[in-house]
Every structure is written in structure tokens, then in C-alpha cells.
Amino acid sequence: MVTTNKTHVVGFSFSGITDDATLVPVLFIFFLKVYLVTFVGNVGMVILVLKTPNLHTPMYFFLGYLSVVDLICSSIITPKMLLDLLSIKKTISFTGCALQFFIFAAMAATEAFILSNMSYDRYVAICHPLHYASIMTKKKCWCLVLFSFTVGFMQSLVQTSCVFNLEFCGSNHIAHFYCDVPPLLKLSCSDTFICYMITTSIISSCGVGSFLTILVSYTFIVSSILHIKSSEGRRKAFSTCSAHLTSVSILFGSVFFVYLRSSTSDFGKQDKVASVFYTVIMPMLNPLIYSVRNQEVKKILRMASQRTQKPVH
């Protein structure tokens, strides 16, 4: 352990994603491919939204920012995890740990709010189609995105200040593959109850608040869809929401599993698996889900593919 005095460590070490050396090559190749797909998919989605006039709508406006958030979230976690897979010593400085946690916590909360914005957009589109253009104005969309990022960074600042002002005078070994609240609190020799309550309250407020917004929106959406007489109309209405619901289910399911539990619960392998889903896998899945489940995006991608395959005379 490296310390400057008895109360402040200057660095941490990670346990990493696995203790089994035989799995390292397989995991490295797998997560490298995941990150490359994540990078290409999210950058591609942003470019597609920016360059395609047909996609200059509120839903794709939010989707573009969701891709930006996913790219940042993945990039702050995955490259370091890949490097640690190849390293004997998996270390990070105290400042680096705080910065990693700050950016990740900000992006995680921002993603939850953007997903709730997207559910509100779908609610207006399906329940109030005649007033959609007047309700979902460009100004309102910008305000919703600005609110998401502002609250995301503010709550992250509070959490980071709380956790990294604790005293760490024992082990500096984090039982995880990145800097996160549960394993960090277990390392502190301070009284962590207040910090635990603050972080739990913030995560609950952001997570449960966003989830309730989504739940209420979809309650009205389902009610409206069930009143549509034609089965084809109901199918089209449901198809516009399926990609969003898939993303919401994976994200909130894994996040609630890790964070909204007792502080005395051991941080085990199942927590690492859940963490991998929302830090590494989810940022890759979002652009794939919205590409595969969205007819508009699929149509544009097919047209782009046909243009690139057309022979040059």
C-alpha cells in the first residue's frame, strides 16, 4: 500500500474483472471487440443523426446525445479495464480514481434522464400527435438535454466530494475493475453512514425519479395504444417504443441490483457482472438496439449501403 500519511492513500489497486489467468486472453479480445463496436456504433449514430435531415426530430435529437453519453461512459471505464487485463499491477492514482468516478457518475445519471426525456417524447408523439410539433419544440428539447447534463454533473460532484473526502487508512485494494461507491466505502476507515445515505439518496432520487417518469409515460402510452382499433396501428405504435423499453430494462435492472442494497452486502462476482452490463455492454447495445428495432434507421442504413456498393463507372 502506498500512503502519504496514515489517513490518505495516493493510489488504489483493482482486483480486476477476473482472477483466472486463463480467461484473460479471451476476455481481452471480447471486451476489445465490444469497445470497438461501441465506439463505431455511437460515433456512427451521432454522424447519422447530424447528417440525415429525416432524423432531425426530437427523438433522434435525444438519441444523438444518448450516444455521446454512452461513448464517454464506455471510454472512461473500458480502456482502463483492458489495460489492467494485461497488467500485473492494476493501479490508479487517487486523483485518477476520483476523476473516473466523477465522469462515470455524471454520465450514468445523465443517461437515466435522457431515457426519461425519450419516454416523454414518445408519450407526446402517441398520446398527443396533433400537438406534437408545438409541444416538442427545439427550445424544449435543448432545455431537457441541458437539464439532464446539469443535474448529472451536480449530483456527481456531491457524490465525489462525499466519497473522496473520507479517510482511507487501511487497504487500498478495490474489489472491482473501476472506482465505484460500494467497494470504496468498504475501504474507508471513516464513519461511512452519512456518505452512504447521501449517495443512496442521490442514486435513488435520480434513478427512481427517472424510472417513475418512464413508467408513468408508458402507462399513458399503453392506454392510448389499446384504444387504437387497427392491429397494424397498434403494432406500429408499439414498435416505436420497443427499442427504448429494451434499453431502459437493461440499464435500470442492473443499476438497481448493484446500488439499492444494504451497505453490508458483500460486493461479489454477481455485482461485477451487473456492473459490466451497464458500464461496458449497455453503451454497445444502445446504437445496435436503435438500429435493429427502428425502421427509419434501418431504411437509411440500407440506402447508404446500396450507395457504397454501387459500381463506379
Residue 62 sits in a domain of what CATH number? 1.20.1070.10
C-alpha cell at 268: 461479489
The pLDDT, as a whole number, for residue 82 is 96
C-alpha cell at 122: 414518445
**Residue 237, amino acid:** A
- Distances 310 to 195, 241, 297, 313 between C-alpha atoms, Å: 60, 34, 20, 9
The pLDDT, as a whole number, for residue 79 is 96
Q: Predicted confidence band at 55 (pLDDT cuts at 50, 70, 90)?
A: confident
The pLDDT, as a whole number, for residue 3 is 44
The pLDDT, as a whole number, for residue 272 is 81
* 30 pLDDT higher than 60: yes
Nearest to 201 by CA among 161, 172, 257, 159: 159
* 299 pLDDT higher than 90: no
The pLDDT, as a whole number, for residue 8 is 64
Torsion of Cα atoms, 210 then 122 then 114 then 41, to 10°: 130
Range of the domain at 300: 3-309
Q: Which one is predicted more confidently, 32 or 237?
A: 32
Burial bucket for residue 176 (CB in 10 Å: 0-12, 13-18, 19+): buried
CA distance 130 to 59: 16
Residues 6+ apart with CB under 8 A from 152: 106, 107, 108, 109, 110, 113, 206
Q: How many domains does the chain contain in total? A: 1
**Cα four-point dihedral sign 189, 195, 197, 202:** negative
Say if residues 66 and 286 touch (Cβ distance below 8 Å): yes
Counted residue by residue, the chain has a size of 313
CA distance 292 to 286: 10
Q: Give the residue ranges of DSSP H helices in the chain.
A: 24-51, 58-85, 94-127, 132-135, 138-163, 181-187, 193-226, 231-259, 269-276, 282-292, 295-309
